[in-house]
Amino acid sequence: MKLSTTLFRGIGILVVSRFLVFACVLLAQNTYNEPWRSQFHFTPAKNFMNDPNGLVFYKGEYHLFYQYNPQGTEWGHMSWGHAVSSDMLHWKNLPLAIPEEPGKYMIYSGSAVVDWKNASGLCVSGDAADPSCLIAIYTAAGTNIQNQNLAFSNDRGRTWANYEGNPIADLKKPDFRDPKVFWYEAQKKWVMVAVLADERKAVFFDSRDLKKWVLRGSFEAGANDKGQWECPDLFELAVDGNPQNKKWVLVVNRNPSAPAGGTGTRYFVGLFDGSHFANETPAGQELWADYGKDFYATNSFSDLPRKDGRRIWIGWISNWQYANREPTSVWRGAQSLPRELSLAQSPDGIRLVQKPIAETKGLRERVLLQLSDVSVTMAMQAMHLSNVLGDTLEIEAELAPGDAKEMGFRLRKGGSEGTLLGVTPETKEVFVDRTHSGQVSFAPEFPGRYKAALRQSSRVKLHIFLDRSSLEVFVNDGEMVLTDRIYPSPGSEGIELYSNGGQGKVLSLSIWKLGSIWR
């Protein structure tokens, strides 16, 4: 009798505690408030996410599809997850868009476009004034073959049907993937750029109806290239805003051997004639979009309104060296802030410039500090007086290191923990050092110092977006970017300025507290 009462009580406690754990997980999911949960970068409510896919604007909504494992927190069962937004920052999660075909193929990366005139014949809008629908072109990744499939949606991306004539492009190869489709106005046709990943080759196809594709050309970087090419993109941009001087940018995400190690985003500048890419970047110059360790698998938006005119991309904030091991739970993987792209002529050649989209200003909840022309000591005092702390901050600073050996910020500081973002004038470099940033032991490739060369270091502008588990730094108005994940202890919210071996000056400093996109 006594035994069974105890047993029942035990079972009761177990059931209640299980329920409480479950309720907490649910609550945390709903509030997006677990430790390290990004507050203003897109993350899935639960499970594993990698590349952004199918970025497209249609009927007032920005769509973000993404590589997603609906079944777990590591890569697998790849399918397209889905979210929509009215500003590219505040996202609403939607049900899975395109699920894997179990036993046949997974849904790898790809792109989406608006088929404005129903060239595909797959749109059934019934509205003569607007016969459009959405088309997604993705890689069907089978065991020994990767080819390209088309899916279409007649309800603003909510549900998708696979085209019965799939595959629409097939080279009978195991590494043919990541199609990026765009409208090539000069020849009134669609162009698809995809990769032969292991051969490090970009391939160009064209089509009039999005269903029949013809291979027209290919591009390789040369014998010294390494690794695999993934997730290509190809778009035209004006140099220094001059519409008479436009160049094409061919992007290839490379795995591994990026500057910080592991995966990274490389680009070439040149010309494209609808079939061939003529590279103008001198051989031996490797151009990279980001010098941090966590920016990969970029995808740029299709069909932004003509009056908008921007080219905007998003990258995945991770690195294949440790993507499956990052220490978050119930969710894994984050997307970068959307970045506006442009080209600028520099003394070394034409370079890609990235800036956070203007909409990002809308994340500012309140200004914590604003000052100019002060010493590091005075800036520190002001920060102390205003009690500047936080794990979701935007910081804009212009630093003049003077005779200092090294000057910069110590971010997410707590005890001996902190992430350094600094400038070393002697070597003309900017760096992020996350060796002591908090939790780093989950992967030997995670801790480290990642640096980029500056053209000059007498005045350096840093535009920093600090989220609960990441750091995006736009240097000198976006001529250089460093993106890195960090996993500080929850209480490490301090921020300090430092200047070693000399007297650096703070020419200007503004700090804002940023709000959460989930509330």
* Of residues 112 and 497, the one with the C-beta less far from ligand FRU: 112
Distance in angstroms (rounded) separating the CA atoms of residues 399 and 186: 45
Distance in angstroms (rounded) separating the CA atoms of residues 432 and 292: 7
* Of residues 139 and 516, the one with the C-beta less far from ligand FRU: 139
End-to-end CA distance of the chain: 51
Q: How far is the CB of 461 from ligand FRU (least distance, A)?
A: 31
Closest CA relative to residue 169, chosen from 216, 227, 102:
216
- Asked if omega into 256 is within 30° of 0 (cis), the reply is yes
Taking a C-beta distance cutoff of 8 angstroms, is the pair 190, 184 a contact? yes
Taking a C-beta distance cutoff of 8 angstroms, is the pair 42, 90 a contact? no
* Of residues 78 and 473, the one with the C-beta less far from ligand FRU: 78
Q: How far is the CB of 319 from ligand FRU (least distance, A)?
A: 10
* Of residues 119 and 194, the one with the C-beta less far from ligand FRU: 194
Beta bridge partners of 203: 194, 218
* Of residues 49 and 135, the one with the C-beta less far from ligand FRU: 49
User: Residues near 194 by Cβ (< 8 Å), separated by ≥ 6?
Assistant: 139, 148, 169, 176, 177, 178, 179, 180, 202, 203, 205, 232
Q: How far is the CB of 225 from ligand FRU (least distance, A)?
A: 16
Binding residues for ligand FRU, rule: CB under 6 A, are 50-51, 67, 78, 108-109, 139, 177-178, 230-231, 297
Taking a C-beta distance cutoff of 8 angstroms, is the pair 265, 295 a contact? yes
Q: How far is the CB of 453 from ligand FRU (least distance, A)?
A: 26
Taking a C-beta distance cutoff of 8 angstroms, is the pair 460, 401 a contact? yes
Closest CA relative to residue 513, chosen from 406, 387, 376, 401:
387
Neighbours of 46 (CB within 10 A): 17
Q: How far is the CB of 441 from ligand FRU (least distance, A)?
A: 24
Measured CA to CA in angstroms, residue 129 lies from 117, 118, 153 at distances of 10, 11, 18
Taking a C-beta distance cutoff of 8 angstroms, is the pair 34, 27 a contact? no
Distance in angstroms (rounded) separating the CA atoms of residues 247 and 265: 18
Active-site residue, from 51, 115, 433, 467 = 51
Q: Does the annotation mark 373 as catalytic? A: no
* Of residues 77 and 189, the one with the C-beta less far from ligand FRU: 77
Q: How far is the CB of 263 from ligand FRU (least distance, A)?
A: 7
Measured CA to CA in angstroms, residue 141 lies from 152, 167, 444 at distances of 18, 11, 30
Residues with a known catalytic role: 51
